[in-house]
């Protein structure tokens, strides 16, 4: 009986040691698996320069990535074909928790994500892994909308007296897309006429211009010209045409 009791006690002791070993193994799992991801606190822009405030505790390196779609690969990164740019956060920006992009983004909808690496000296845990309070890996994504800036229109004219025509130039600043327009006026006989043109916009940081010429023969001494984009009157000017 005593032998059986000893065996039973030995069995339970072995089970207890096994459980303690398993507990030790669980506690010894590298803390990197539990590390906190960086987080985006706010997303905005100033004159199309994105501004992001964030939290990335004890991060040594932080980058910001932009995508035209929210799709992500299995490792958490954006799909490369949708990339719209990226930038590294400086040490001073990392400490301040605020970043502003030096480049302007074109109008549109973007998705933003952070990618952080922990500071080795502050976060490495003896035996392997990182302190779970350190930021590591990809953040959740946030949506950023850059609205189309308001184009400012201006017009100039030049009268060619001997050839009997007047050149009319329409400018829009800034303009990054093509935009059809028309310029309308009335002849001396009060007949309304319109000419169609198109502004070829190529950059949201530059102006676009287009020129149309009107024969002055049927016009009076002075003529009011009006420029329309769609149904909206964007500019008008009274021009000496004789």
pLDDT tens string for the chain (242 positions)?
444 444 444 444 454 444 444 433 444 444 334 568 999 999 999 999 999 999 999 999 999 999 999 999 999 999 999 999 999 999 999 999 999 999 999 999 999 999 999 998 888 887 777 788 899 999 999 999 999 999 999 999 999 999 999 999 999 999 999 999 999 999 999 999 999 999 999 999 999 999 999 999 999 999 999 999 999 999 999 999 98
What are the structural domains of the chain?
Answer: 31-146 (2.60.40.10), 152-240 (2.60.40.10)
Phi, psi at residue 10, to the nearest 5°?
Answer: -65, -40
Residue 19, burial from CB neighbour count under 10 angstroms (0-12, 13-18, 19+) = exposed
Find all residues with CB under 8 Å of 6, minimum gap 6, and list them.
none
H or E segment to which residue 2 belongs: helix 2-27
What letter would DSSP give residue 37? P
Q: Are 178 and 198 in contact (CB under 8 A)?
A: yes
- Put simply, whether the predicted model's pTM sits higher than 0.85 gets the answer no
């Amino acid at each position: 009986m005593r032998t059986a009791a000893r065996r039973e006690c030995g069995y339970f002791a072995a089970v207890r040691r096994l459980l303690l070993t398993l507990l030790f193994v669980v506690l010894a799992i590298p803390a990197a698996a539990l590390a906190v991801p960086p987080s985006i606190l706010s997303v905005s822009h100033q004159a199309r320069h994105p501004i992001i405030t964030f939290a990335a505790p004890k991060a040594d390196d932080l980058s910001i990535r932009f995508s035209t779609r929210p799709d992500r690969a299995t490792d958490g990164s954006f799909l490369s074909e949708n990339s719209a740019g990226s930038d590294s956060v400086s040490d001073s920006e990392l400490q301040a928790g605020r970043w502003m992009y030096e480049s302007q983004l074109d109008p549109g909808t973007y998705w933003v994500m952070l990618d952080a690496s922990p500071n080795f000296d502050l976060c490495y845990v003896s035996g392997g892994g990182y302190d779970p309070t350190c930021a590591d890996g990809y953040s959740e994504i946030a949506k950023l909308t850059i609205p189309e800036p308001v184009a400012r229109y201006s017009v100039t004219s030049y009268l060619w007296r001997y050839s009997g025509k007047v050149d009319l130039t329409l400018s829009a600043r800034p303009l990054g897309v093509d935009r059809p327009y028309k310029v309308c006026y009335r002849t001396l006989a009060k007949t309304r006429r319109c000419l169609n043109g198109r502004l070829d916009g190529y950059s949201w940081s530059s102006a676009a211009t287009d020129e149309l010429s009107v024969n002055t023969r049927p016009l009076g001494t002075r003529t009011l010209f009006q420029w329309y984009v769609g149904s909206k009157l964007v500019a008008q000017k009274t021009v000496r045409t004789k």
